[in-house]
Structure formats: C-alpha cells, structure tokens
Structure 1
Amino acid sequence: MRLDTITELLRIPGFKVTHMISSTESSIEFLLEQEEERTSVCSGCGKVHNTAVHSVGRITVEDLPMSSRRVYLHVPKRKSMCLEDGSIRVEEHEWIRGRFTKRFVEQVYRLTSITTNKEAGWFLGIDDETVYRIDKEMLEELSLERIEKVKAPRHMSVDEVAWQKWHKYVTNVVDVEKRKVIWNHDGRGKTTLDKFYRKIGKEGCKRIKAVASDGAKGFLTSTKEHLKNALIVLDHFHVKKYLNEAVDAVRKEELRKARQQNQEDLSRILHCNKRFILMQNKVTNKQKDILDKLSTLNEKVYKAMLLKEQFLSLYVASNRRVAYANLRAWIGTAIRSGIASFVELGYKFFRKRHYVLNYFVCKITSAISEGINNKIKRFKRMAYGYRDVKYFLLKIHQHCGLLDPKLST
C-alpha cells in the first residue's frame, strides 16, 4: 500500500506517513513527520509560543487497529522554552492522549460502557489497569463539559445505592423527564443532598417543582430546607415495599409459632418459598386456593394481607380529597388491628400523610431511580465491585447519566 494512501486512511491533521518501520502478523509501525512547519502548543501552559526549538524527540503512540493488526505511530515532538515559567517543555498534540491517540482512547470509553475493563482490555490487547486509567481520565474530562454545569430539573427523584459493604452508599439525583442521573456523590442523608442543592444555587432550587423520595429523614430534611415551594412525593413503589415488609414480619412471626406448635399445613404455606404469593397483587387460581386455605388456618396473616390490599386501593382514588379520606380510614384500621408491624406503619404513614397524598397532585415516582439502581448493581457485579468511589460515580454517569456514549452519537 502506498504511503500517501496510508496517510489518507490515518487522517492525522498536519502529519504524513514517511516510512513503514515494520510490519508483522500482529502489528505495524509507521514513522510520521509534519507536513509543514507549525508553531507548537506548550504542554505546560497550553499557549502557542514562537520561541526557538530546543530539541526534537520522538514518542510512540498506539492507534486503532488496521486489518486486525495493532498500529503504532512514531511521532516527532519538539521541545521549546515556555515563556510562562522559563522551563523547557515538550509540545502538545491535540490528537494524542498519553501513549495513545485520541480516537483509541474514545474507543476504550465506548467499550467500557458495554462491558468490563478486563474484557475491553482483552479485545484491544492492553491490560485492565491501563483501561482503568484511560477510562477514568476520559470520564473526568467529559464530566467537566457535561456535568459540572448541569441544569436543575423540574421533576427529580433521589435515592441511594450501596457501592461497598458495611453501609457505604452513594446518592443519585435523577431528572425524571430526561430519565438520567444528573448528579451523584458518595454518602447519603442530609449533608450529601445539601451539596446538590448548593451546587445548583437558589435559582436552580426555585426551578424544581416536585421531588420523589423514599421518605428517608435526611432527604426530607434537606429538601424542605432548600426547596420551600416544591412538592415532596412519597414514592408509591417504596410504599409497597413498606407494606410488603410489614406483611413479611407477620409471616415470619406466625411461621415461628406454627413450627413450635407442629402445625405442618400452616408451616408449609408460610414457608419462605411461598412468601412471594403474599406479596403479589395478582394471583393465579392455584395461588388463590393457597390464600383461601390460609384464611382458615391463620387469621392474622390473612388480615395483614387485606390491610396491604386495602392501602393499595387508595391509589385508584380520583383526587386528593378522596384519597385523604381513604388514607385516614386505613390508618385508623391499621392502628386498631393490633398487628405490631401495621400499627407502626400506620403511625409512620400518619406522620408522612402529606407526602403520600402529594402523589395525587403530581404523579411522579422514583421508578426511574429504582430501574437505574438495578442497572448500577448489574454493572457493579460484572466488575466484581469497585475500590475507587470517584471512578464508580463516573461509571454511574457513563451507564445511566449524561456521560453515556450513545448520547453523543
């Protein structure tokens, strides 16, 4: 292949291929020279200096593969004196990132958005530590453009997800309309969410109309402090979670009693492999038969299930006023039921009744946040965990936020 054809294929601005140094079955190396004399950009200050050239050296950078062979480019780099600090500095090329071309780095960034660093490294022929370094630098560079000046959303949801064992969490803020993570930080609770509200400023806080939350005290306190006029909505997906946990607490208690009293039929129904029947809103005919049998064997568990179903019917109310009447009735029933987990839940919903009812004013949920949490857990498992929390936060933006490569294609 002619050298000018290779130059045209490589499309490197200001450079041409002058020699093919070596060509093997696995790699190919080219020598590059500048097509014409140009002023150099200082790597120290980023400015153009018209000072005399001190010396010329060469570096070897890896480019994208050509015909399934790895491509190495030998690139001249001039050294000259920086007028800012008087040091001898090497020139900077916009298309080079360390020991790789910019397009090679971008390919790493795209691959790591769909697979693990180890698999991306295997595909490109580099080790996973190098992939980690390239990927992190690329994500940090993009985050300055896309995340640092993020606009406040109209509707947002906030939730936390564990990134390591021993209660180590990160908090994610999701734009409900864009369905993307727009901000995250390590930690959880009021002090963490305060950082987001301070980042967007008072004008940004005024733009937010509604916030969906799981009802955590820290998130509620921070939101009420910074968003004076925004609606806080207790997400009904988390409400269902609280109800299911209350039913499961009753199931465990009654299962323990049934085993002590050798009630085999009841123990079989309340066993953990049947617990999902108690949590479902729609059941098959076979599952319905099991529940009918349960109603005769244990009234307490069946009553707990009815309380759960009664509460969920609240969400079909036509407006906030009707929902309020239904909620008041349910809270009274739950407290009078004598079932400890539902008595506690009744008082909890009484304290947070306004947040529950706000759903009928602005019907937003944190369903997007929950879906994003599942996606985060998936790529965390694929990578067998993360040790660098800053990198983990950037990966969340890459997989679920504004650093997704598909947004720029």
Structure 2
Amino acid sequence: MQNSSIWAPLLGVEKTTVSHVETCRETGVLLARVRAHKSMRNRCGICSRRSPRYDRGDGPRRWRTLDHGTTETYLVAEAPRVRCPEHGVIVAAVPWARHQAGHTRIFDQQVAWLATKCSKSAATELMRIAWRTVGSIIDRVWKDTTKTFDPFANLLRIGIDEISYKRGHKYLTVVVDHDTGWLVWAAPGRDKATLRKFFDALGEERSAHITHVSADAAAWISTVVAEKCPNAVRVADPFHVVMWATDALDDERRAAWNRARKAAKENEPPRGRGRPPKDAPARPDSERAVKLKNSRFALWKNPEDLTDKQQVKLAWIVQTDPRLGRAYYLKEGLRTVFKLPLDEATEALDKWVNWARRCRIPTFVKLQKSIVKHRASILASIEHGLSNGRIESMNTKIRLITRMAFGFKSPEALISLAMLSLGGHKPALPGRK
C-alpha cells in the first residue's frame, strides 16, 4: 500500500515520490509524506531557477489536496529555502503546488471548475473551504492560465463598456472581442487611466491593428480610443442612441403631465374643508393628468410590441396632446434610421436632425446637437453592423457572476472568475482532457 507508483497517480502528483501514507489518529485525516524528484529540488519558488539551498526552513508543511474518498487528505513535505540570484531568500518550489499556496494544483483546478459551474454553497461545501478561499484560488488559477495563452491574440474589433459591481459607485471597465464573443480584459474603475491600462497591456503595435471600437458616447472612452488607436473606426451603440431619444421623450411626458396637473388646479373651483366624498366625479383635467402619468410604457415600447390597451392610449395622446405626439414620432423616427441601408440612413438622419432642430421641444433640440456631434460613429454602426449588444450580453453574465462573488476580498478575484467563465479558457476537471 505504500508503493509510490500507486499513490502518486491517486494523489494527482507528478515528479514526486510518495514515501509514506498514514491516517492521523487525532484528526482522522490522511497524511501522505512526499518529496520532490531530484530534478525539481532547490529551485526558486517564483522563477523556478535552480539555486543554492539556504536552510531547511521552518520544518514540514502541509498542502491540502483532493479528498481520498470521504477523507480529507494532505501532502506533507519539508519546505527548505533557497537563495535565488533574482528574488533572494525564498521558499523552494514544489511540483505539486503553486508558490505560497496552501493547496495543491489539482485541488485548485477542481475548485476553479466548480466556481464556474456550481453555486457558491455547493463549491464550498463539497471542497470544505471558505468562499473567500475560493476567491484566492481562482486568482491563482487565472494568473497561471494567462501564462499558457495570449488573450489579445488576433484582436481586431472590440467593444468597451462599464458595469457596476458593488454599491458606492464601484465599476469595472470591460473589453470584449466582437469576433469571438470572449471577455478579453477587465479592471476596476471607469476613467481614462483605467482604459489606458488596457491599451498599455495591448501594446502600441497591436493597438494599431484594432480596426473597430464600439462603445457608448462616454467622453473618457472616445478620448482614449482616439489617442491609442486613431485609425480604428469608432462605432456608436444604436441602443444607447435610441435610449437618448427615449429619455428625451420621457422628459416631455413628465412636462405634459405637470402641465395637465397645473391646469387642473387652475380650473378647479374652491373646495370646502376636508376631503371630497369618494363618489365625487373626477375633474376632466385631473383625469387627463392621470392618463398621461400612466402612459409611459405606451410611449416607450416599440409599436409592434404594444398591447391593444396601449395602442388606444397612444392614439388618445396623439389626438389630445400634439406636442407629446410629435415627441413620440421623433423617437420612432430616430429608431427607424438604424433599420435602413447606409445611403438611405444617411439621408434620413440628416432629415431627422432638421426636424428635431425646429420641433420646438427643448429636450429634442438638445438631443439633435448630440446626434450631430456623434454623426460619424452613428453612421459607422449602420455601415459595419456593429453594436454593443454582445457587450451588454456579457454584462448580464458578469452581473450573475457578481452575485456569486459577494464575499470575495478584492475585485481581482471577481475579475478572475469572470475571465475564467467568459474568457474562452474555462478550467477543466482534473484528470479530464
């Protein structure tokens, strides 16, 4: 039973000799005493360079490995220190675990796989560790994963966006590859300095190869993109552009509602003291204000998605409030631009700008200035068929991961979990190809 050729595969270790296996009488855990092969001894724990031994260290150490059946299992070995020419005195590397880790590589691999596939409670209960420990393991596994592949390889068309991951205005900046759909980079923050870190990691040569960048109209994104890859085509996200029109329409709806409420108060005769009786008839202007207040979804939704009741309400708005009806048609006119071919869309967008400029609705007069400012990127989205839809889908998945990542000590662990889950290089279960 003490044969190393049997125990080494069972424990999932390589380049390691298993000298003795026993059960601890006090705790009931399985202890496997191991030592590295001669070729793996006296190497720096960081760079793996062979170095002279410094001392024997602080005595034997334990590394948690996968359970043997239902029994907790640990590897026990000496932890000598070496003197590395680059890193100084440091604990020697071992083939079964990462530097400064208390778990074996095979244990880390299984935890990382569970974190990307299972719930928080399932992963922690099965592996018998705390959720914060899972965050540390994921961070180690992702750092090792990046050593085996280049996340920026063949990067041509990217989408940039930000997502909130914590209360208190805590944001992540995320970059997605349009061609593969993979998350290629993420970092805490949403400003120019944060985005510059991505382009610095990408390098000047590969930044020059970027052909398209899709994003919303945030100034901090467009400034850095123009600085780092000026030859790239900047594409405005159609969803955000239509959302500007929807917000302008909603501002006008609230203004119409307030006008109706004000008219109701001016036309209402003086009341007696106390509340009116329940069966008292509603004032006509007061009823109109209520209808306008509850018309938000009839104005927001696309015409093909309206219910019968909402269609009736929309027709009532167009007949009774021409100004609000004009604002609705402006919103729909801008949305229609993105459905047209480029030549027709260019002409339609110019006509829309002229219409909005003289519509006498302040919110849309202001909106057309933004449309003129971003006209080139809006037409580029129509020409190249790009949008931030893929990035918004990625953000939805990251929000789900964020819910799981509550309890992680740092945003780096959340980013590592997101990259492992969505970066196209998911961890595999130990022993599977």
Q: Structure 1-normalised TM-score?
A: 0.85
The structure 2 residue matched to 1:339, chosen from 337, 361, 365, is 361
CA distance in 1, matches of 2:258, 2:407: 36
| Partner residue in 1 for 2:291 | 269
Q: CA deviation at 1:123?
A: 2.8
Q: Give 3-state SS (helix, strand or coil) of 1:312's partner.
A: helix
CA distance in 2, matches of 1:400, 1:190: 24
* Residues 121 and 303 of structure 1, relative CA distance in 2, 3 Å threshold: same
Q: CA deviation at 1:292?
A: 1.6
Q: Give 3-state SS (helix, strand or coil) of 2:384's partner.
A: coil
Does structure 1 residue 378 correspond to structure 2 residue 400?
yes
* Residues 15 and 264 of structure 1, relative CA distance in 2, 3 Å threshold: farther
CA distance in 2, matches of 1:88, 1:342: 67
The 10-residue stretch of structure 1 (33-42 or 190-199) with the greater mean CA deviation from structure 2: 33-42
Equivalent pair of 1:156/1:174 in contact (CA under 8 Å): yes
| Partner residue in 1 for 2:134 | 131
Amino acid at match of 1:378: L
Amino acid at match of 1:105: D
The structure 2 residue matched to 1:231, chosen from 227, 230, 233, is 233
Does structure 1 residue 99 correspond to structure 2 residue 66?
no
Equivalent pair of 1:29/1:71 in contact (CA under 8 Å): yes
Gaps of 5+ in 1: none
Equivalent pair of 1:380/1:386 in contact (CA under 8 Å): no
Kindly report which structure 2 residues correspond to 1:131-150, keeping only aligned pairs within 5 A, or say none.
Answer: 131-146=134-149, 150=152
* Residues 31 and 80 of structure 1, relative CA distance in 2, 3 Å threshold: same
| Partner residue in 1 for 2:316 | 293
| Partner residue in 1 for 2:300 | 279
CA distance in 2, matches of 1:86, 1:145: 23
Amino acid at match of 2:329: L
* Residues 52 and 199 of structure 1, relative CA distance in 2, 3 Å threshold: closer
Q: Give 3-state SS (helix, strand or coil) of 1:72's partner.
A: strand
CA distance in 2, matches of 1:306, 1:55: 77
| Partner residue in 2 for 1:306 | 329
Equivalent pair of 2:245/2:331 in contact (CA under 8 Å): yes
- Comparing both structures, which one devotes a greater share of its residues to strand? 1
Kindly report which structure 2 residues correspond to 1:156-195, keeping only aligned pairs within 5 A, or say none.
Answer: 156-195=158-197
The 10-residue stretch of structure 1 (350-359 or 278-287) with the greater mean CA deviation from structure 2: 278-287
Equivalent pair of 1:151/1:200 in contact (CA under 8 Å): no
Equivalent pair of 2:158/2:212 in contact (CA under 8 Å): yes
The structure 2 residue matched to 1:212, chosen from 204, 211, 214, is 214
Q: Give 3-state SS (helix, strand or coil) of 1:364's partner.
A: coil
CA distance in 1, matches of 2:246, 2:56: 73
The 10-residue stretch of structure 1 (353-362 or 165-174) with the greater mean CA deviation from structure 2: 165-174
* Residues 66 and 269 of structure 1, relative CA distance in 2, 3 Å threshold: farther
Q: CA deviation at 1:238?
A: 1.0
Does structure 1 residue 330 correspond to structure 2 residue 352?
yes
Q: Give 3-state SS (helix, strand or coil) of 2:175's partner.
A: strand
Q: Give 3-state SS (helix, strand or coil) of 1:361's partner.
A: helix
The 10-residue stretch of structure 1 (396-405 or 277-286) with the greater mean CA deviation from structure 2: 396-405
Q: Give 3-state SS (helix, strand or coil) of 2:187's partner.
A: strand
The structure 2 residue matched to 1:257, chosen from 256, 259, 264, is 259
Larger RCO (alpha carbons 8 Å, 6+ apart): 2
Q: CA deviation at 1:87?
A: 8.1
| Partner residue in 1 for 2:278 | none
Equivalent pair of 1:18/1:32 in contact (CA under 8 Å): yes
Q: Give 3-state SS (helix, strand or coil) of 2:385's partner.
A: coil
CA distance in 1, matches of 2:162, 2:315: 39
Q: CA deviation at 1:308?
A: 1.2
Q: Deviations over 1:312-344 (max 9, x none)?
A: 11123222x321110111111112111121111
Equivalent pair of 1:172/1:181 in contact (CA under 8 Å): yes
* Residues 27 and 401 of structure 1, relative CA distance in 2, 3 Å threshold: farther
* Residues 271 and 368 of structure 1, relative CA distance in 2, 3 Å threshold: same
Q: Deviations over 1:56-107 (max 9, x none)?
A: 943222221232332233x232636547499886543221242221111112
Equivalent pair of 1:233/1:359 in contact (CA under 8 Å): yes
Amino acid at match of 1:30: L
CA distance in 1, matches of 2:312, 2:86: 83
Q: Structure 2-normalised TM-score?
A: 0.81
Amino acid at match of 1:293: W
Equivalent pair of 2:158/2:176 in contact (CA under 8 Å): yes
Q: Deviations over 1:209-247 (max 9, x none)?
A: 111111112222222233232211111111121121111
